[in-house]
Amino acid sequence: MTERDEVIAETAATDVFAAFEGDLPAAKRWWSPRDLGRQYLPALIAFLLVILTWEALTRLLAVETFVLPKPSEVMASFFETASVIWAAGMRTLLEAVGGFTIGVTLAVITSLAAARWVGFREGMLPFAIAANATPIVALAPIFNNWFSITSPVSKMAVVAVVVYFPVMINTTRGLLEVEPAELELMRSLAATPAEVTRRVRVPRALPFFFASLKVASALSLIAAIVAEYFGGPQDVLGQYIINRANLFQFPDAWAAILVASILGIVFYLLILGAERVLMPWHVSLRASD
């Protein structure tokens, strides 16, 4: 055995790293039925308790239907009017998703520009933050006027503006919040600014981007329905809710609200799913134990 072989043999013999393999933390399988059950069972029980209490109290205290309908009445209406409210829901969803897509696309473009050019960022961000704090849905009557009240485009415009600011501000923050050590590493590799954006800034920004998309998904349905309240075609959720409420058909109004909630939750879950597919490395997916 040469001296060098001895060195190598010794290194191999004392290599404690190999022993770690079995103990490595595993990636959590977020889709595992057992985990889902364990995670969401308490919430499910709480939900059922609220519904049962609601039903019991409205019966016990003889609450009038126009004040607060019983869950059973809402459910009856939900199934009776299913074809109408789901059709209305789909039209509203189209406005929400259309506006969401436009708003998010513009926000991402702005964010990339803001991360790239300091002057642009410093000139624009204060206004964006101010705009984000103003109640943008108040613009709905004006947008109805600009884009024709009968067209879904006027509602999409409101949604797009509402969605734009939180997504743009958060994504910009993510693109800028990069570890100095990572920038130094990229400098040592003589990487171009475009390389740094692509390989470090964008992956770093993804958690911020998805967090803002989750907020934006809820905002988009709210904005679409509120924009509908300001007028337009009658076959959408916002107008349906107003009309049924005006006719004192409150269980119908509640059933439509239920449709809106279901759509909002599904939209949110789709984004959550996209996040987990696109960011398998994310901290929240690591086994906690």
Partner 1 sequence: MTIPVVEARGLGKTFGSGTEQTEALRGIDLVISSGDFVSLIGPSGCGKSTLLRLIGDLVSPSTGTLAVNGKTAEQARVDRDYGIVFQSATLLDWRTVEKNVALPLEIMGFGDEERSNRSRAMLDLVQLGMFKDHYPWQLSGGMQQRVSIARALAFEPSLLLMDEPFGALDEMTRELMQQEVLRLWDETGTSVVFVTHSIPEAVFLSTRVVVMSPRPGRISEEITVELPRLRNQDTREDARYFQLITEVREALRRGETGAGS
Q: How far is the CB of 96 from partner 1 (least distance, A)?
A: 30
Q: Which of residues 131-170 bind partner 1 (CB under 8 A)?
A: none
Task: Identify the residue among 47, 127, 229, 281 touching partner 1 (CB under 8 A).
Answer: 281
- One-letter-per-residue 3-state SS of 231-260: CCCCCCHHHHHHHHHHCCCHHHHHHHHHHH
The span of 22-30, 87-95, 115-123, 156-164 binding partner 1 (CB under 8 A) equals 22-30
Size of residue set near partner 1 by CB under 8 A: 38
Amino acid (1-letter code) at residue 254: W
* Cβ atoms 192, 133 nearer than 8 A: no
Assess 284 for contact with partner 1 (CB under 8 A). Answer: no
Assess 27 for contact with partner 1 (CB under 8 A). Answer: yes
Assess 17 for contact with partner 1 (CB under 8 A). Answer: yes
* Cβ atoms 277, 17 nearer than 8 A: no
The DSSP symbol for 58 reads H
Q: Which of residues 192-211 bind partner 1 (CB under 8 A)?
A: 195, 199-200, 203, 206
In 3D, which of 171, 165, 176, 172 has the Cα closest to residue 128? 165
Strand partners, 286: 27
2/246 with CB nearer partner 1? 2
3-state class of 27 per DSSP? strand
C-alpha span between 164 and 100 (Å, rounded): 8
Assess 274 for contact with partner 1 (CB under 8 A). Answer: no
Binding site for partner 1 (CB under 8 A): 3-4, 6-8, 10-12, 14-18, 20-21, 24-27, 179, 181-182, 184-191, 195, 199-200, 203, 206, 279, 281, 286
